[in-house]
Structure 1
Amino acid sequence: MNFRNQPQKARPKKNTLIVGRSKVIEAIQQGKQLERIYLVSTIHGEVIDEIKRLATDKQIPINKVPVEKLNGFNVSNHEGCIAVISKVQYQDLQEVISYIVDKGEVPLFLMLDGITDVRNIGALARTALCCGVHAIIIPEKGVGALNEDAIATSAGALEKVAICRVNSLMKAVDELHMNGIKVFASEMTAEENLFDVQLQEPAAIVMGSEDKGIYPALMKVCDEQFKIPMKGNFESLNVSVAAGMILYEAMKQRMEAK
């Protein structure tokens, strides 16, 4: 992936920030959805430990950063702690699965591993919503922020499709398996073609980053690997384009099965 000429990340608006240790603790305890918490890496103490504990319980990512990062938010009295209010509403994976099954529908999930470009995430969400994906599963860390840029690129799809943020994609696969959901991995070196994969059954599709692909340990716990057949020897497709092909094939198979 070419990182040159990438647009600079926009600074979060002040009305999306929660500033100060006690206010962050209060926000978590009140159940406010937080995108992430920034802590100055050099601060310690009981209050900081409490913030870390609460964040872990609620699966809120913590970024340890130099004080200059927080000063850059242009707010006063941050006490080494700032939280960013989430633009999307995260949902519990098991609750989403149960809701889908109770409705009598066949689950279809999209799992994102290491995809950091918010424009790709927005495009993925847009296609996922159009193809009937019930939820997008993302990890706490190693994924682009679901911020205003991502939502704008998704044309609002990120606010309409369920988003399940988990502390471990490996554990999420275990949870999917326990619910009878098969996990498929898109891998350009796989032997099986996309069109031969049975996607009418309960399924989750894992998409990895364009530069590193799917994390090897995660690949090992997937049930089946497939490739998108291509003419020529070009290395790979853009991840959002590839996901579009896969999800439309899943939708096609499911429509034909009815």
Structure 2
Amino acid sequence: MDRKFNSFKGDRDKRGGGPKRYAAPRPKQSSLIIGRQPVMEALNSGKSIERIYMLRTATGDIIPQIRELAAAGNIPINTVPVEKLNGLTQANHQGVVAIAGNVTYLDLQDVISHVTEQGETPLFLILDGITDVRNIGAIARSAVCCGAQAIIIPDKGVAALNEEAMKSSAGALEKIAVCRVNSLLKAIDTLHLNGIKVMTSEMETDVKLYECDLKEPVAVIMGAEDNGVYPALRKASDTLFRIPMAGNFESFNVSVAAGIILYEALKQRTIV
């Protein structure tokens, strides 16, 4: 589906997981918005911004305004030491550097309303703690191929949708709605209020994937391979299921698991 709304190993920064397996490359200089006023103008213009890096000790009248606009747009702000900013650019950054986004993030409720108004049955993915951009790109590609309409990500604890993510997705991230939220738990509440069932892929359960009804409106939570899905999100889910495996091996890669789940949904929805 085109973007007509607007016309399993990773680290866990918030849960103390193991060491990072994948380190994102340094942002291209052409993607940087450098300085207080340029960042402010970008925010006011509605330009897509992936993340803002702000000096921990930054002060001045414009700083609260930047924070307010960023919060309104669910744009994460990382407060960092000056060494981090100097590592991003040698220009006069004035304590503020933003990274221009490759994706236009959409409001979750707007996406739900659009999908249902089009007469489609929602099939969404929720990504929790997946920090390898290549996995996210591969998941997006499978999502588009299997008819999913949206991917929901948190504003923290997930890989930036940078140039490598776009490349890994083979353009799929431009063809699917991406909703960035400040709380996945609140996103689940929104999904429930709209009659969308939330399911979690979990190895330790008796329910098998093919026993689930994926013809109904559903959002599937996929977690990182090392820590799985955050316990509070599992608890908020309606169903826990697992992908049956022939052998006693560790698990599927998260992007492969997502592809299997999405294809099962496609099969159920297309077989008469």
TM interval, shorter chain, is over 0.9
Q: What does 1:76-95 correspond to in 2, within 5 Å?
A: 76-95=91-110
Matched residue, 1:156 = 171
The match for 1:67 among 82, 87, 94 is 82
Matching residue of 2:239: 224
Contact 2:10-2:22 within 8 A present in 1 as well:
no
For residues 49-198 of structure 1, the aligned pairs below 5 Å read: 49-198=64-213
- Provide the C-alpha distance between the structure 2 equivalents of 1:75 and 1:51, rounded to a whole number of angstroms: 22
Pick closer, same or farther for the CA change 1:6–1:172 going to 2, 3 Å: closer
Q: CA deviation at 1:46?
A: 3.2
Secondary structure of the residue aligned to 2:268 is: helix
Classify the secondary structure of the residue corresponding to 2:271. helix
Q: Is 1:211 aligned to 2:226, yes or no? A: yes
Greater alpha carbon shift after TM alignment, 197-206 vs 10-19: 10-19
C-alpha separation between the residues in 1 aligned to 2:215 and 2:248?
Answer: 30
Structure-2 change in CA distance of 1:134 and 1:190 (3 Å) = same
How far did residue 7 of structure 1 move?
Answer: 6.3
Question: What RMSD, in angstroms, separates the aligned Cα atoms of the two structures?
Answer: 1.6
Displacement of 1:5 after TM fit? Answer: 10
Deviation at 1:15, TM superposition (A): 2.1
Number of equivalent positions: 257
Post-superposition, which runs of at least 4 consecutive aligned residues in structure 1 deviate over 6 A? Answer: 2-5
Q: Which stretches in structure 1 are left out of the alignment for 5+ residues?
A: none
- Percent same amino acid among aligned pairs? 58
Cα distance in 1 for residues equivalent to 2:42 and 2:226? 37
Of the two structures, which has the highest relative contact order with CA contacts closer than 8 Å and spacing of 6 or more?
A: 2
**1:41 counterpart = 2:67:** no
| 1:52, distance to aligned residue in structure 2 (A) | 1.1
The reply to whether residue 30 of structure 1 matches residue 45 of structure 2 is yes
For 1:7 and 1:130, locate their aligned partners in 2 and report how far apart those are by CA, in whole Å: 26
118-127 or 71-80, which moves further after superposition? 71-80
Unpaired segments of 5 or more residues in structure 2? 1-8, 12-18
Deviation of 1:42 after TM superposition, in Å, equals 2.3
1:236-247 superposed matches below 5 A: 236-247=251-262
**SS of structure 1 residue aligned to 2:110:** helix
Report the 3-state secondary structure (helix = DSSP H, G, I; strand = E; otherwise coil) of the residue aligned with 1:72: helix
Aligned AA for 2:201?
A: S
CA contact (8 A) 2:10 2:224 kept: no
Q: Pick from 35, 47, 53: which aligns with 1:20? A: 35
One-letter amino acid of the counterpart of residue 18, structure 1 = I
CA distance, structure 1, for counterparts of residue 211 and residue 156 of structure 2: 33
Q: Work out the CA distance in 2 between the residues paired with 1:229 and 1:5.
A: 28
Q: Distance in 2 between matches of 1:134 and 1:8?
A: 29
The more displaced of 14-23 and 77-86 is 14-23
Q: Deviations over 1:62-99 (max 9, x none)?
A: 11111111111233110010011100111111111111
Q: Give the aligned partner of residue 217 of structure 2.
A: 202
TM-score by length of 1: 0.95
Q: Deviations over 1:108-155 (max 9, x none)?
A: 001000000011111101101101010000000000010001111111
Hey, what's the Cα distance between the residues in 2 that align with 1:128 and 1:7? 23
Measured after TM superposition, the shift of residue 43 of structure 1 is: 1.9
